[in-house]
């Protein structure tokens, strides 16, 4: 074991899979350039050549169709979108083609294709570069949707995605790229549909996605000083979803807050709230609450952007309200920001 970053864990997964299987190739806008998708594809073109690592034109729809055709013919493409917003330009291919070939062929045709989409805020990138959209993909039967939070999960889940025989949407938050953790050097897989308990607790369950797990852990550490015991569940994959893990936690704590890196309306948080309300109703001590983006396009001005995104402070106040605790003073506490390069806490 050695400590590497989330970004390097992704890169290592790609290298190991390209070494293991010469049918794996990676492509997308900016994949082989000097920035190399925040460094996650650095060195791939030098190691594997331009036939297995190449740039593409601004033609997301056609390039997704190209990946579909190659997958149907036995290849294992990994298509990368440096901003998930532009996957909308390929939505016809994803929703009408990739997702349904296995079903429409009675399982005879496989589509082993991975689409990596990057989310997360930067420095005032506005409404064109700030969407999450994983709920949109999760809505479509035939697609698996993966959201790794930790570096070790990023590697194991990406290897699982590449080896999967049908399309996987793999969502990465850019702030998590700096996170560092002990990651096994050898190749390994993490099964889809198995969530992770990031922190054990007894008073309230927080179900969080992607970067929101980092904020939830920070919030839980502050709340612990007030005596509140918070359990944090990271689903890892929202399709398939580890419903049993979520329900077991809520049945233990009796309370649930869903903290999502997305808008609340018709989103993943609504799905979990419905699940918990339906299957844990008799054990609930309070209604399920949700935290997500403000109901507006993301503003560009920093002070407005800060109000758009939830953070540990939002979580602390929601937990205090649910548990009937007196609000703790947050004066002097430094919350995460783009300028503070994140390396923990996993």
Which residues are designated catalytic? 129
What's the CA gap between 98 and 166, in Å, rounded? 8
CB atoms within 10 A of CB 323: 18
What's the CA gap between 314 and 263, in Å, rounded? 15
What's the CA gap between 324 and 322, in Å, rounded? 6
Cα dihedral 70→32→124→269 (10° resolution): 30
Strands 53-54 and 24-27: parallel
Backbone angles phi, psi at 114, to 5 degrees: -110, 135
Quick check: helix, strand or coil at residue 12?
helix
CB atoms within 10 A of CB 21: 14
What residues have CB less than 8 Å from 303, skipping those under 6 apart? Answer: none
What's the CA gap between 19 and 33, in Å, rounded? 21
What's the CA gap between 331 and 333, in Å, rounded? 6
**Residue listed under structure tokens 């492509």:** 27
Q: How far is CA 252 from CA 212, 226, 247, in A?
A: 22, 20, 9
What's the CA gap between 190 and 153, in Å, rounded? 7
Residue 197 tokens read as 């308990």
């Amino acid at each position: 074991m050695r400590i590497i970053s989330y970004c390097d864990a992704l890169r290592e997964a790609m290298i190991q899979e390209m070494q293991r299987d010469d049918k794996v190739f990676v492509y997308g806008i900016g994949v082989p350039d000097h920035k190399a998708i925040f460094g996650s594809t650095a060195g791939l073109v030098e190691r594997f050549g331009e036939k297995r690592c190449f740039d593409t034109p601004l033609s997301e729809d056609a390039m997704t169709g190209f990946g579909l055709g190659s997958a149907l013919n036995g290849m294992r493409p990994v298509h990368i979108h440096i901003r998930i917003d532009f996957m909308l330009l390929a939505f016809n291919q994803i929703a009408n083609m990739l997702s349904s070939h296995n079903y429409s062929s009675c399982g005879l045709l496989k589509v082993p294709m991975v689409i990596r989409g990057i989310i997360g805020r930067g420095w005032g990138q506005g409404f064109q570069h700030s969407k999450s959209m994983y709920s949109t993909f999760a809505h479509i039967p035939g697609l698996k949707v993966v959201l790794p939070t930790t570096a070790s999960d990023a590697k194991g889940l990406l290897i699982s995605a590449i080896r999967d025989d049908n399309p996987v949407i793999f969502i990465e938050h850019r702030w998590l790229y700096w996170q560092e953790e002990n990651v096994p050097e050898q190749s390994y897989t993490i099964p889809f549909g198995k969530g992770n308990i990031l922190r054990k607790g007894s008073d309230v369950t927080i179900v969080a996605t992607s970067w929101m797990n980092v904020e939830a852990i920070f919030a839980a550490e502050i709340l612990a000083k007030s005596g509140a015991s918070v359990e944090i569940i990271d689903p890892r994959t929202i399709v398939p979803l580890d419903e049993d893990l979520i329900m077991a936690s809520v049945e233990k704590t009796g309370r649930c807050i869903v903290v999502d890196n997305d808008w609340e309306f018709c989103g993943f948080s609504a799905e979990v709230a419905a699940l918990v309300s339906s299957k844990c109703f008799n054990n609930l001590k309070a209604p399920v609450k949700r935290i997500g983006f403000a109901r507006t396009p993301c503003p560009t001005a920093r002070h407005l952007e800060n109000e758009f995104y939830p953070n540990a402070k939002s979580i602390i106040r929601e937990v205090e309200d649910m548990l009937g605790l007196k609000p703790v003073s947050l004066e002097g506490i430094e919350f995460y920001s783009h300028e503070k390069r994140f390396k923990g806490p996993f």
